[in-house]
Structure 1
Amino acid sequence: MFNSRNPAYRDPMGAVPAGTSVHFKINVARDLRCSGARLVVQDDQNGQTENCGMYWCGMSGDTHECWECHYTPQQPGLYFYRFYVDTWRGTLPITKGFGGEGSVDAHGGPWQLTAYDPDFQTPDWMTGGVMYQIFPDRFHNSGQPKENVPADRRLHEKWGEQPDWMPNEKGEVTNSDYFGGDLKGIEEKLPYLESLGVTCIYLNPIFEAHSNHRYNTADYSKIDPLLGTEEDFRSLCDAAHKRGMHVILDGVFNHTGSDSIYFNREKRYPTEGAYNSQHSPYSSWFNFHPWPDHYDCWWNFITLPDVNECNPDYDNYINGETGIIRKWLALGADGWRLDVADELPDPFLENLRAAAKAENPAAVVLGEVWEDASNKEAYGRRRRYFEGKQLDSVMNYPFRNAIIGFLTGADAADMMEIIMNIVENYPPQVTRILMNHIGTHDTERAITMLAGEPLHGHGRHWQSNAHLTRERRKKGLTLLRLAALMQFTLPGVPCIYYGDEAGLEGYRDPFNRGCYPWDKADEGLVEWYRRLARLRAACPCLREGRMEPVMAGDCCMAYIRDDGQERLLVAINAGEQEKPVYLSPEWNDAEILMGRLPDERHALVLGPRDCTVLKWAYPGPEEPKGPAPGPAATAQKDLA
């Protein structure tokens, strides 16, 4: 009846610039004796509903008739739509089903139409690249002496020891143990990152803070003394730029540390913080009730007092002409990843993006959002990340869930549906630079998720002793290769969490934040990542090529990336049995990048936990034009 992912029914598909006329067409069974049809659209911002009459436009075969109309979203925002048809059975709704399909189901939901500002642009330099996330304390220690390091920090004697996880005598986990990874150490390893095809380095917080994770910022204006100096930061950025790499910083602007120059509960700093005096220049940044011991804090962690981002003084301190955003961009950074972006108010986000673009129009602003960011609701309000004034893109947790789920036994069609919903809902300029990770500092290590014993609520003591058996590790390495292949070939930019490419294991914090194993890296796995980087660099269609699902089911998934010049087919078998994937005949003439060609039955036979990647180039202007390879030649159940 309708399919939002097929241009025969909706054109253009996906998100559109506001002011774009979108064509809708539905097919209605003739035996319903339809006498009228309409498109009903609800503007999410004001709640108003618009009824658009549809026109009869002919027959579709002998059994169906077509009705069509156009609708133009006038302003950036979300629009939710469904259809109604008047039949001999009464007025029937056509609502969204699996795979974007329409069906006569009163219990189905609406489709989403995302409209964005026509002037919304995102940085070109990220497109087609490879990101690498570094937890600075655990990547590489240059060995250079550090100055002005607080005495209450404990440095491990041996690189690679297990991070501290036991509570102290007060029952607190202070995260005050360090391994001494520093900015000079990162600079020393730039040749290694270059060998992985890295074009963008994302650094977890580097500003002065009194914990090894540094998410409890003590001073936004200073580099943490264990990491080095401002000159070390400038040197790292300069060296990275010379190798064609960019550097993104982690901005934690929803809260500070209680042990900070701004709050100063622990009285580390000589200046008066908001906790010390109601006359402090920072007192209006925080919400007390009453002062000083009762204050808003992040998820009830008293060491992380919440900031009132809409306070003019704080907003100017971060986003003003001489503020933190512009300071570090001027010193060489190329963008910001924003911690807990869903807790930052709209005006603050808009001011932040404006500040970043004023300093460097090519700066990127990424947000930490765990759900579909196009329709995210937070604290009772719909967020407006992608209308054009807030975020350039986000961390892509939905893709991570789909990849990990598919490779650990979840229904392949359901996982493909997660992927396609994101592709349909996000503006294309957002999708092309999505941060596609399969593990971060906030999740279990990828190989542990893929092959480890399920966590099932086990505490830190159990996690500290849990390691993959030889058999589980063998399985994990195989599945991690497939997960990385999906990372590198789905829409967006793959982001490697440091050490994943070396086979690092680990459950949750702090075990997912171990030291990079420079003397024990799995070289075969590292080489696989290098191979994927070469594949990515050799296939322009992976930059912005559209995503076409081929099939998803029976432990297999296959999809195509197509930019009008070439088509790349990726087929993966996550199961333990050999499986065929049937393709159209043209794929028999494709170039093999991994795996094998289809056989004489046009069946691509995938071994257990195996993959194939094929490339087919469109004919040049002087060559005979044959049909492009189609998705499937037989009646496979693609997405259902």
Structure 2
Amino acid sequence: MNTEAIFHRPVNQFAYSYDKDSIHLQLQTKKDDIKEIILLFGDPYHFEGDNWHYNQSNMEKTGSDSLYDYWRIKVKPDYKRLRYGFQCRDTKGDMLIITERGYFKTMPQDIGDFFCFPYLHEVDIFQAPDWVKDTVWYQIFPDRFANGDPSLNPQGTLPWGSEYPTPTNFFGGDFQGVINHLDYLVELGINGIYFTPIFNAYSNHKYDTIDYFEIDPQFGDKETFRKLVKECHSRGIKVMLDAVFNHSGYYFEPFQDVLRNQEKSRYIDWFYLWEFPVQTKGYPNYDTFGFVASMPKLNTTNPETKKYLLDVARYWVEEFDIDGWRLDVANEIDHVFWRDFRKVVKEIKPSTFILGEIWHDSMKWLQGDQFDAVMNYPFTNGAVEYFAANNMNSDTFADSITKVLHMYPKNVNEVAFNLLDSHDTARILTMADGNIERIKLLYLFQLSFIGSPCIYYGDEVGLSGGEDPGCRKCMEWDQSKQDLALFDFIKQLLQMRKEIPAFGNQADFKFLKVEENVIAYQKESNEGKLVFILNNSGEKQTFELKALENKKVKELFSGREINFSNKAEVHLEQYGYRCYQIPQ
């Protein structure tokens, strides 16, 4: 038995309260080393004479990657307290009991040897808003979605889509343009909009805020925004705004005061200034976003700065009834600030969704006291590289997704923000070299996965574009230039996600089999199973799958009823896919 590969700690994704009655436990072992794991568990105070009274239950192997097997179990302790250990039996038949104090060949007698979950406090459970689990987001870059009120156009606005996007050109997108196309989003199946920044700013992207309490005039005024939110809510669409609290813009008044008055400014503690005079030309002598001189970093530990930003967070929820905040560069702001941010926002509207922009392992922000979710780039990287870019093999892809599923607790995964591309990345169609068939597989996987998916505006009709600024093209509204077949396909997937519980968040995900160009995975709920088979290649494939043997199923895309024999063989056309529904 490879004991050095066995890992568990009673924290984070390895031991957590899933709901008010149950605890989830996870153990990690060397791939293909352990054959069976039995959880030994009980209340720490329950003794019969001198003997601890404990229960036994088999753990389930929920996934494997190239190095590890992952095992999970759901436990409902009788009195909300838990002591536990793991009885592991390897493929050779050897047995060890794994505890906090080490490894034992026989049952330890000291209760203190075992792992401890002291008490299941409901207040400590990670709780994101329930509505997020059923939300499909649509990201809008306001200047490039639709121009509904030309009278608002900033000076130099170009005719819609007339030129290639640059960091400095404007096309006049606004709130009225969004209002005019809300029924289009409803038809697609969208019930959440994520707006990149809408506050007064100098640039076309608005990540250089001038005034956090004012709408940028090119988008409209506060009354138009209030109307937009109400129109969204009347259609069942949530609204999430982008908060840029890591840094301000160059023309933010406190920073302008620093430039005017230098060390005499009352705002010098609002920023991280290294020396005086403050230099904005060339390499800045103060902290910034990256090394961008026009984006000075805000000091969120300064009480005045902190109060200002928390007032911003409160204002837009309280006054306009927005449903969520997406937090830009969230990992570069202190945790104390985010804990206070959560308290402020949740006190006003407990159902507000808090989403952090973090591109890496985010466990320390996802423990219930800061964010409800992060932008799930580990998922994005695996899915896009496998399906769109086609530069990852099936085994590596399955490894990457399995790691994503086991790096966070289940209740975190259920609300993860699963994007494919954004204003910060090349568009998926460009990454797929224009191959729509690969894009269809990518959407099928994204929209049948666990979490809260996001579609970047225009992708649903085949909008292309390279890295920033290419990914920020104007939305194509000419139907003769739209890929309507792709639109209808995504619409069909979203309808299936809405109508079939196992298609979306109401089921557990598990890979069943992986071959060179084909993957099979299962979504299982109380109502039944869905088995997906995807051929990620330009060649026809024949695929055998044990999970379908002797099963009567319905293939959801064709509607055909199929009776598989004791040899379940599936024939897939190039870039073909199947979804088999197996009744419980």
Question: After TM superposition, is the score higher than 0.5?
Answer: yes
1:326-377 deviation line (CA, Å, top 9, x unaligned): 1111212101111111111110111111111111100010111112322xxx
Across the two proteins, how many residue pairs are aligned to each other?
Answer: 501
1:558-617 deviation line (CA, Å, top 9, x unaligned): 111112222122211102222214133467412221256575431122221111112223
1:304 to 2:295 alignment: yes
Q: Which residue of 1 aligns with 2:272?
A: 287
Q: Which residue of 2 aligns with 1:582?
A: 545
* TM-score, normalised relative to structure 1: 0.73
Q: Which residue of 2 aligns with 1:545?
A: 507
1:566 to 2:528 alignment: yes
CA contact (8 A) 1:219 1:260 kept: yes
1:367 to 2:394 alignment: no
Identity over aligned residues, as a percent? 30
Distance (whole Å) between structure 2 residues aligned to residue 527 and residue 439 of structure 1: 20
SS in 2 for 1:504: coil
CA contact (8 A) 1:310 1:348 kept: yes
Distance (whole Å) between structure 2 residues aligned to residue 486 and residue 21 of structure 1: 39
Distance (whole Å) between structure 2 residues aligned to residue 405 and residue 116 of structure 1: 39
1:447-476 deviation line (CA, Å, top 9, x unaligned): 11122xxxxxxxxxxxxxxxxxxxxx3xx1
Distance (whole Å) between structure 2 residues aligned to residue 23 and residue 235 of structure 1: 57
CA contact (8 A) 1:568 1:615 kept: yes
Q: Which residue of 2 aligns with 1:146?
A: 152
Q: Which residue of 1 aligns with 2:110?
A: none
Q: Which residue of 2 aligns with 1:118?
A: 124
CA contact (8 A) 1:334 1:363 kept: yes
1:23-78 deviation line (CA, Å, top 9, x unaligned): 5231146587x7x6544xxxxxxxxxx42444547xxxxxxxxxxx95235599xx
Distance (whole Å) between structure 1 residues aligned to residue 123 and residue 74 of structure 2: 9
Match runs of 1:429-508 below 5 Å: 429-451=411-433, 473=434, 476-508=435-467
CA contact (8 A) 1:578 1:605 kept: yes
CA contact (8 A) 1:583 1:598 kept: no
1:327 to 2:315 alignment: yes
Q: Which amino acid aligns with 1:162?
A: E
Distance (whole Å) between structure 2 residues aligned to residue 513 and residue 7 of structure 1: 51
1:390-444 deviation line (CA, Å, top 9, x unaligned): 1101111111111122220412122112112121221222211111111111110
1:355 to 2:344 alignment: yes
Q: Which residue of 1 aligns with 2:482?
A: 521
Q: Which residue of 2 aligns with 1:413?
A: 395
Q: Which amino acid aligns with 2:557?
A: M
Q: Which amino acid aligns with 2:287?
A: D
Q: Which amino acid aligns with 1:51?
A: R
Q: Which amino acid aligns with 1:386?
A: L
Alpha-carbon distance change, 54 to 564 in structure 1, aligned in 2, over 3 angstroms:
farther
Alpha-carbon distance change, 308 to 20 in structure 1, aligned in 2, over 3 angstroms:
farther
1:614 to 2:576 alignment: no
* TM-score, normalised relative to structure 2: 0.80
Distance (whole Å) between structure 2 residues aligned to residue 252 and residue 186 of structure 1: 22
Pick from 181, 187, 194 the counterpart of residue 186 of structure 2: 194
Deviation at 1:273, TM superposition (A): 4.8
Alpha-carbon distance change, 122 to 14 in structure 1, aligned in 2, over 3 angstroms:
farther
Q: Which residue of 1 aligns with 2:212?
A: 220
Structure in which a larger fraction of residues adopt helix: 2
Distance (whole Å) between structure 1 residues aligned to residue 457 and residue 505 of structure 2: 23
Alpha-carbon distance change, 589 to 357 in structure 1, aligned in 2, over 3 angstroms:
same
SS in 2 for 1:290: coil
Deviation at 1:15, TM superposition (A): 9.7
1:176 to 2:188 alignment: no
180-189 or 115-124, larger mean C-alpha shift: 115-124
Q: Which residue of 2 aligns with 1:160?
A: 161
CA contact (8 A) 1:24 1:70 kept: no
Deviation at 1:232, TM superposition (A): 1.2
Deviation at 1:274, TM superposition (A): 5.7
Q: Which amino acid aligns with 2:116?
A: T
Distance (whole Å) between structure 2 residues aligned to residue 373 and residue 7 of structure 1: 31
CA contact (8 A) 2:339 2:370 kept: yes
1:397 to 2:381 alignment: no
| Aligned structure 1 segments of 4 or more residues deviating by more than 6 angstroms | 15-19
RMSD: 2.7
Alpha-carbon distance change, 274 to 570 in structure 1, aligned in 2, over 3 angstroms:
farther
Alpha-carbon distance change, 275 to 370 in structure 1, aligned in 2, over 3 angstroms:
farther
Pick from 249, 254, 262 the counterpart of residue 257 of structure 1: 249
Which runs of 5 or more residues in structure 2 are unaligned? 7-26, 30-34, 40-58, 61-70, 108-112, 280-284
Q: Which residue of 1 aligns with 2:307?
A: 316
Deviation at 1:132, TM superposition (A): 0.4
CA contact (8 A) 2:88 2:97 kept: no
